[in-house]
Amino acid sequence: MRFTFSLHLPIALLKATALELAILAGHVLLYPTGVIQERRPAHRPADTPGTAVGPAPRPPVVLLHGFVDNRSVFVLLRRSLARHGHHHIASLNYSPLTGDLRTAAALLGRHVEEICARTGQPRVDVVGHSLGGLIARYYVQRLGGDRRVRVLVTLGTPHAGTSVAPAAGIHPLVRQMRPGSPVLRELAAPAPLCRTRFVSFWSDLDQIMVPVEAARLDHPDLIVRNVRVSGIGHLALPVHPAVATGIREALAADESASGAAGAASVA
């Protein structure tokens, strides 16, 4: 996905900042609606093998929010996915009091197992914003989650660590997102035969990622497609319609598309 982008950087940055502030204001209003964990449908037995008619159903999609956020950040993305044929979409809230990314990754694993049992599907797709993408990556790489996760899409996730706002490092989860943290060193370790495909969206105007390239995923053992987004900031990634289109395309892409680069300008 490629669009033309001709604005000078200062103007683009001003526009992106204004959009970030508008999104933040809207999200503050929506935040209370996502505080409570979403209700889960009643369990249904797995489909009987060999009885399906027509194309195979799409894998369930799990949405995982970022630091001090909740599932309300995905209201627009969820609607977009549902309108385009994704019938099983689930969101997971993890507590802001969580002190270790690994704990949240284990919770995600239990959540994924429950979804697979309920829907009868062997694998899921995951979309993670910011810290949520890092939690999902830890589950995939370090907790055997590649057995369950077909595609992991990350949005503005600090794969290489971010150095923004040093004073914020008082929170243990923020410290784990610092460059060179023990968690990031674990994720940099070899990951042979990892079955999950990764698609990483990173923005050249993301002021939470320092440097902005920190949201690129570069690992020799992983199947990765990095998509550069121009014209928007960190908070806009899970809500902008052009990014939603890119996410839908990433989930629909054939295995042969893995490893390709991409770019998108949404200014």
DSSP letters along 66-124, please? -TT--GGGGHHHHHHHHHTT---EEEE---TT---HHHHHHHHHHHHHHHHHHH--S-E
Provide the whole-model pTM.
0.87
Which residues on adjacent β-strands are paired with residue 129?
155
**Contact of 192 with 249, CB cutoff 8 Å:** no
Q: Which residue type is seen at 263?
A: A
Please list the pLDDT of the chain residue by residue as tens digits (267 residues).
444 444 456 788 888 888 889 988 888 887 788 767 766 665 554 443 444 455 678 999 999 999 988 989 999 999 999 999 999 999 999 887 888 999 999 999 999 999 999 999 999 999 999 999 999 999 999 999 999 999 999 999 999 999 986 666 678 999 999 999 999 999 999 999 999 999 999 999 999 999 999 999 999 999 999 999 999 999 999 999 999 999 999 999 865 445 555 655 554
- Residue 191: what are its φ and ψ, rounded to 5°? -135, 65
What is the spatial distance between Cα 120 and Cα 85, in angstroms, rounded to a whole number?
Answer: 17
Q: For residue 218, give the nearest of 193, 187, 194 by alpha carbon.
A: 187
Residue 227 structure tokens: 């998509």
Q: What share of the chain is helix, strand, coil (3-state, %, to 5)?
A: 40, 15, 45
**Contact of 154 with 124, CB cutoff 8 Å:** no
Q: Which residue's structure tokens are 């209003």?
A: 29
What is the spatial distance between Cα 226 and Cα 157, in angstroms, rounded to a whole number?
Answer: 12
What is the spatial distance between Cα 148 and Cα 93, in angstroms, rounded to a whole number?
Answer: 19
Q: Residue 7 has what DSSP assignment?
A: S
- Cα dihedral value 140, 194, 216, 168, nearest 10: 30
Residue 29 structure tokens: 């209003």
What is the spatial distance between Cα 135 and Cα 138, in angstroms, rounded to a whole number?
Answer: 5
Let me know if 36 is exposed, middle or buried by CB neighbors in 10 A (0-12, 13-18, 19+): exposed
